[in-house]
A and B are shown apart, each in its own frame.
Chain A
Amino acid sequence: MKVAVFVKQIPDPTGVGRLDPATHLLVRDGAELVLDPGDANGVEAALRVVEANGGEVVAITMGGERAAEVLRKAMAMGAGSAIHVADDRLRGSDALATARVLAAAVARSGCELVVAGTESTDGYTGTVPAAVAELLGWPALTFAKALEVDSGTVRIQRQTPAGHDVVEASLPAVVTVTGAINEPRYPSLRGIMAAKSKPLELLSLDDLGVPPDEVGLAGAGQEVISAAPAPERAAGELIEDDGSAARRIADYLAELKVI
């Protein structure tokens, strides 16, 4: 079976995110760009599905030129091929436009299972995968902390506030995974070398037949009017524990009338 995995390139989440004061778009220049850590779990989950069932993993991204780096990374981990949707007209696309593009890429790829992150680390809207599922008319099994595919049936443990639900659907389907699902493998040196010669298909909006006026800033149904640092909480007292810290905390709790 062919399994698509969505991979997104994001500014290094351990750095501080910046927005361009004029466009209010995420500043990607100068920032270290990495594979979204949540999507690394997705790649690992997809690889395990084809290791158990046979088939191939196709990594898919939508993003600028440098986004090809995350496709190479996914292929270094073991994906067999990749699709890169890049088009200047996509700049500023919102979650819905992103979903339209990714859904079109999946349809073209012939995959019958899509694995994605539950939410991206930079945007964390968490709506792209379920919107892709709706556009394709497929079920979405979201928040998976365990995933199993067996003869046309996909079954997950869906993380819930109270524990987990066991959820099942027939393929084709979309699955989103949480960080708890696995420990992503590191690409081996051989994997990194092999990735260089794996097929990477570059597609434009025209290739996918997605109308340009429905994506990018032009298609966005909203407009960012300001982006400013959130009001900061001021830091208070900082003490070194010299054996008396417990007493200080207890006094503080007493001041607050918690005890």
Chain B
Amino acid sequence: MGLILIAAEVAGGSPSPLTLELVSHARTLGDEVAVVVLDPEADAVLPALGAHGASRAYVGQERAYREHLGQPAAHVVSALVDRVRPALVLFPGTQEGRDLAARVSARLQLPVLANAIDVTGDGDDFLVRSSIFGATVDVVTRTRSRSPLVLVRPKSFTATASGGPPPVTEVLPLPAEAPLGARRLESVVAPSAGPGLEEAKVVVSGGRGMQEAANFEVLEHLARQLGGAVGASRAVVDAGWVPYALQVGQTGKTVKPDVYIACGISGAMQHLVGMKGSSHIVAINKDPDAPIFKLSDLGVVGDALKVVPALIEELRARGLS
């Protein structure tokens, strides 16, 4: 099926986990997997990309890729796609990935499909499965153009090493005529935005039913006891109770922990899309008709402000401080 091109993302000196998921899956789709890495630290991530199956890399290390949003990368990636004519281009379904895929789509007049959860080959075309309406409906789309662009949701595939050597590298210069556009002046890291939500084995999430910001302390306590992380619904992020970094759902993070404990969360479809892949779901909600109960393995109709502190006590009695 020819060449599969992946727009790689770099996070903290490594390929992002989603990038490795895409590279790994691409091995099942094409004869050759190539990555385009536009980042000042591109060099450092090439071995890991090779070890997951990328045999070619197109690299640009200009600072502009960090300092400016979308436009320089779109310029270079579009020219690359036009030249190498990949059978398929996969983009991480992240903020950056979306901006980039949208611009490449517009520049090259190529269709873009978003929110993919699976991609398979079908003759010369590809079948792209995406979930819509809060993951209540699965849609399968057949691509019918050259080089279709597909944005993939996190955790749709598993990253697996192939043990390949570092990829053969070609440097892509950033042409002087490339527009730079919007500039990042500063990056502010929210103090309580700890990492780990996406990796945690247990996620304790709170929604508007927690009543006020201060009550998130009990959720933090419970998460600590269980060695897990705290998540949240968008309602409480928008209310400013917790930072956006904790948001689970369509516009937040996708989590697939062993256990997801939803406290005072109604289960709006935009929330469910980010957590319904959890292995086990526990929900605590006052309303017996809350939609979250439709997919919970253990549902408790009750006041989260009573049940969570009681659970903390119970766990303490079982030796967990």
Contacts and interface: CB of A to CB of B under 8 A. Distances in A.
Contact of B179 (A126, A137, A226, A235): A137
Interface in B139-191: 139-145, 148, 151, 179, 181-190
B247 to A, nearest CB: 9
Determine the interface band of chain B, counting residues with CB < 8 A from chain A. 35 or more
A33 interface: no
Contact of B301 (A167, A238, A247): A238
Contact of B144 (A222, A231, A237): A222
Contacts of A209: none
Contact of A245 (B98, B244, B300): B300
Contact of B311 (A13, A169, A249): A249
Interface in B88-137: 95, 98-99, 101-103, 105-107, 109-115, 127-128, 131-133, 135-137
A160 B187 contact: yes
A258 B259 contact: yes
B220 interface: no
Interface string A59-90: 00000000000000000000000000000000
A253 B98 CA distance: 38
A135 interface: yes
B139 A235 contact: no
A194 interface: no
Contacts of B140: 224-227
Given A221-B148, A249-B300, A230 B98 contact: no
Determine the interface band of chain A, counting residues with CB < 8 A from chain B. 35 or more
Interface stretch (A47-55, A139-147, A200-208): A139-147
A167 B103 CA distance: 18
Interface stretch (A1-9, A92-100, A104-112): A92-100
A129 B296 CA distance: 36
A96 B111 contact: yes
B296 A99 contact: no
B313 interface: yes
A259 B280 CA distance: 14
Given A141-B182, A160-B95, A238-B293, A127 B299 contact: no
B83 interface: no
B212 interface: no
A38 to B, nearest CB: 9
Contacts of B297: 236-237, 252
B315 A250 contact: yes
B310 interface: yes
A241 B300 contact: yes
Contacts of A138: 181
Contacts of B193: 161-163
A256 B257 CA distance: 12
A55 to B, nearest CB: 21
B238 interface: yes
Contact of A227 (B74, B95, B138, B314): B138
Query: Which of A127, A160, A226, A232 has most B Cβ within 10 Å?
Result: A127
Nearest to B110: A221
Interface string A153-192: 0010011111111111100010000111000000000000
Contacts of A230: 131, 135-138
Contacts of B74: 134
A250 B109 CA distance: 55
A158 B288 CA distance: 38
B90 to A, nearest CB: 15
12 contacts: A19-B137, A125-B115, A140-B181, A142-B70, A142-B95, A145-B244, A160-B244, A167-B69, A222-B144, A225-B140, A246-B307, A254-B318
Interface of B: 69-71, 74, 95, 98-99, 101-103, 105-107, 109-115, 127-128, 131-133, 135-145, 148, 151, 179, 181-190, 193, 201-202, 226, 234, 237-238, 243-245, 250-251, 253, 258-259, 261, 269-270, 276, 280-282, 284, 288, 293-303, 306-307, 310-311, 313-315, 318, 320
Given A165-B186, A238-B293, 9 more contacts: A16-B136, A17-B133, A124-B114, A124-B250, A127-B151, A130-B70, A241-B302, A253-B226, A258-B258
